[in-house]
Each structure stands twice: as C-alpha cells, then as structure tokens.
Structure 1
Amino acid sequence: MNVSLTFEVLLYLNSYYFGLFAICEIGMNVVKVINQPVPSFGTEFGILLAVCGIELIRVIIARKGNLTEKWWPVLIAILFTIPSAVGVVYFLLWQSFVIRFEYIICAIQLGLQVAEIFFGILVLLPICKTPEYY
C-alpha cells in the first residue's frame, strides 16, 4: 500500500468536502440568525472564517509537501490540523445552537482530519529516514 497516495487522496477528498462543509455552515448560520437571535453570531462567523483560512493553507501546504516528499511541509500541515479540528469541535459541541445536520457534517470532517493526521505521520516516517549509501 502506498501511504503517500492514500494521503494525497485524502487531501484531495478533503479539499472538496471542506468547500461543501463551509458552504453548509454559512447557510446554517444564516438560518440560525433568521429563526432565532443568536447572541454569539459574530464569534461563530469569525471562527468559521478562521477555520476556512487555516484549512485552505493546511491542504495546500500538505499537498505540496507530499508531492515534493519534503518532511517540513507535511509536519506543518499536521500541526495546522490541530486548530482546524478544534474549530470543527467548536461547531460540533460548543456553539450556542447546534442543528442535527451539523453533527453529521462535523463528524465527517473530524473523521477526515483524523485520517489525514494518521496517514500524514505515516508519510513522514519514510521521508525522515536517513538515506543509505552503498
């Protein structure tokens, strides 16, 4: 099994899924504001924009690092997954009003991020190995 290919497929899938995730979150935040006044709408929208920015940077850095087989971009992408996952957990658990659909899409996003962390670490192992010269 080629771990680098699996990591690349996960990044490719996440790049499209996160676009859908962000559009759905924006739509659900609009519905929440229309149906009931949410006192922390500005905070939730700011967190959504921050998560979108972090996730965009993370996917770009991870794909470039995976394709060039350099260890530091993959490591930075793995570290950027942590604040992105915390933002998704915020949407899943800590925001003021959570719709059931949000549970589903946030759980899928977290599953993708956990899989990317796992395969990102597996990609780092052969890249960081010292070369053997014969």
Structure 2
Amino acid sequence: MNVCLTFEVLLYLNSYYFGLFAICEIGMNIVKEINHPLPTFKADFGILLIVCLLELVRLIIARKGNLTEKWWPVFIAVLFTLPSAFGIVYFIVWQSFVLRFEYIICAIQLILQATEIVFGVLCLLPICKTTEYY
C-alpha cells in the first residue's frame, strides 16, 4: 500500500469537503447572528476566518510537498493541522451556541484531519529516507 498515495487522496477529499465545511459554517454563523444575536459573534467569526485561512494554506502546502516528495512541506502541513483542529474543537465545545448540524460537520472534519495526521506522519517516513540529488 502506497502511503503517499493514500495521503494525497485524503488531501484531495479534504480540499472539497473543507470548501463545503467553510460555506456551511459561514452560513450558520450568519443565521445564528440574525436569530440569536450574541456578543461573541465577532470572536466566533474571526476564529472561523483564521481556521479557513490556516486550512487553505495547510492543504496547499501538503499537496505540493506530497507531490514533490519533499519532507519539510509535509511536516509543516502536519503541524498546521493542530491549530486548525483546535479551531474546529472550539466550534464544537466552546462556541456559545452550537447547532446539531455543526456537530456533525465538525466531527467529520476532525476525523479527516486525524487520518491526515496519521498518514502524513507515515508519508514522512519514506520521504525522509530518499536521497536527493541536485
């Protein structure tokens, strides 16, 4: 089984799922602000934008690193997964008003990120062993 191929498939799947996730989260935050105005809306929306930016950068770096078989972009992408996962945990646990649909899509995103961490680390092992010729 080629671990780097599995990692690439997970990144490809997450790139489409994260687009859906971001659109749904932005829409739900707007609907929550209209129906239940809370003073933490700006903080929640700011964290959502930071998570979106982090996840976008992470996916681009990981795909480029995996395709070129360089170890440092994959390592940085695995490290960027942690703050992104903490942001998604914020939406489940610490957000002031959470919808049931948010639980579902955040759980799916966390599962994707957890499997990407596992396969990213497994992908680093053969990449680090290859010799680079300049």
With normalisation by structure 2, the TM-score equals 0.96
**What are the Cα deviations for residues 22-49 of structure 1, in whole angstroms up to 9, with x where unaligned?**
0000111111111111110000000000
- Name structure 2 gaps, 5 residues minimum: none
**Match of 1:5, as an amino acid?**
L
Tell me which residue corresponds to 1:87: 87
The reply to whether residue 9 of structure 1 matches residue 16 of structure 2 is no
Instruction: Give 5+ residue unaligned stretches, structure 1.
Output: none
Letter in 2 for 1:74: V
Equivalent in the alignment of 1:118: 118
RMSD between aligned alpha carbons? 0.8
Offset of 1:65 from its aligned partner? 0.4
Matched with 2:56 is 56
Deviating beyond 3 angstroms after TM superposition, the runs of 4 or more aligned structure 1 residues are none
Partner of 1:71: 71
**1:98 alignment partner in structure 2:** 98
Cα offset for 1:75?
0.1
DSSP-derived class of the 1:96 partner: coil
